Structure 1
């Protein structure tokens, strides 16, 4: 009963916000031309609830796209619309110009955010770790996460990743979860597998599941598609690579039955141990277990300012690189995006990590 009450409250609050935004936009449009309020109300309602309508059937792709852009209005409208209302109370005759200024801010946000989302950058990092019994002296690793491949983070965006990754001539490519946006259907329908197959590295391409693969509830199909794309999925599994390192891929934290990290540890600790875990929930555990290199994503670095304030509070490391003893940890903001195809305060990225393996005496 409490859950039902909470859901009802959320719906009422959300509906009130949608109505308030619509009322404000209608009042502004009326300064130019008469607008039928009933027709406008229906159209505005479809826009405001598009993200929910899209979940009825994947064929309602237009509503999925509209809903994604609507999230930008929700994120920044909470700030901009009340400011506009207050200024209009003070200067009621200036409603038309106040509306234009708010629209200009939205367009600026959209322009900068779109650039940041679709213009990925390469983050370079050089680290050193103990060689132990590894046969290799160095290793170049490409790390990327949170592609959310689907309608907006699309085939063209995946091509950008493949191009940038292959230009680095990596020894190893690690894809750290949320590879598709819930349902892999658009990955399949749009032939993204053929693009993913073009990734080239010396010792292979490996991936893990993220929370959104679980939301989509089509994990077997996703794993099948990734394996066909030459992305080897590690689901609570540890493998040996090039007689030089152990690589572990963890199930996402969403899976309450996933194995403990200690249960995935290699029997022999004579080689560096790399771990992929989509959600950077607790770095104390990999540090304690003796992990050498730990990579995650999930946080998007908040994706849209000022959401990074919350991710910083939730995670010990919500973005970037951190060394804890012998543990080297990276959290990427992601190559794609969830929902709105914009980034503010973050940028689509991949990491290129040059690892130098040194003898203990070095």
Structure 2
């Protein structure tokens, strides 16, 4: 089992602890550092900033939102960071949801799987640098020749020669078809809410992708980098109470009331009634009550909370379920070192 430090995205401002957490992760043998984005801080700027203070850890995004950048712009950013980091970059991509894509980026949301496939194909053309980049579309046609076009667009080849012609790409996928797509065309899967209890189900979806003609990877060399809330504590009740508001936000407040991909993950876990009740309370402004009604077992399904022996045992459960890296968010240097000792 490997560990990755998940810095996430900022709230109202940057977290002053991130500098020392990144340094501790590098010193303690963590495999990677990841950043995220929603509709505030972007993922690339902090990753480059903190990555410049490291020499060994891989630098990943979990995740970049497809609609935030054109595929060529994303490929340029990835190629640049890969050079600056000496070949340590991982591109983690996700489609987000219609609320963000159409409300924040002003882009169309439909056909997310087809858009993802086309997006990654264009990025890999950029990095391969074998010919000028072209795409027949329909989502990212290059050169653009549609309404409003001057007709002067020209296929181009990247000026910069990539350090690596094949930068790893992972998908932040939640639905069965998207998880299968990750296995078919990507180098890894970045689940946000993962439960080892459903490992057999996940494997069925992944195997569907691995079985596709021309699949990029096999199970043996495919990474599963799962976000894992790990809390080492003797006071489980207090930790449950601290985690539940986060779950209530994602379960009841992300996306629209009838289109929330995070909520669907928990429905697949068997918690449809909980999701319905949390959503009703959260969207009526009763956020504290929404968090309070989440059963402890829901927390336990996708997080690890307990003493050292329990945490060590559960890390083994996640590893046997197929997880290769756990993306964790310790709050102190001591917690970084404690987690590193558990998997050493």
Q: Could you tell me the TM-score, scaled by structure 1's length? A: 0.35
Larger RCO (CA within 8 A; separation ≥ 6): 1
Structure with a larger share of its residues in strand: 1
Q: Could you tell me the TM-score, scaled by structure 2's length? A: 0.37
| Greater Cα radius of gyration, structure 1 or 2 | 1
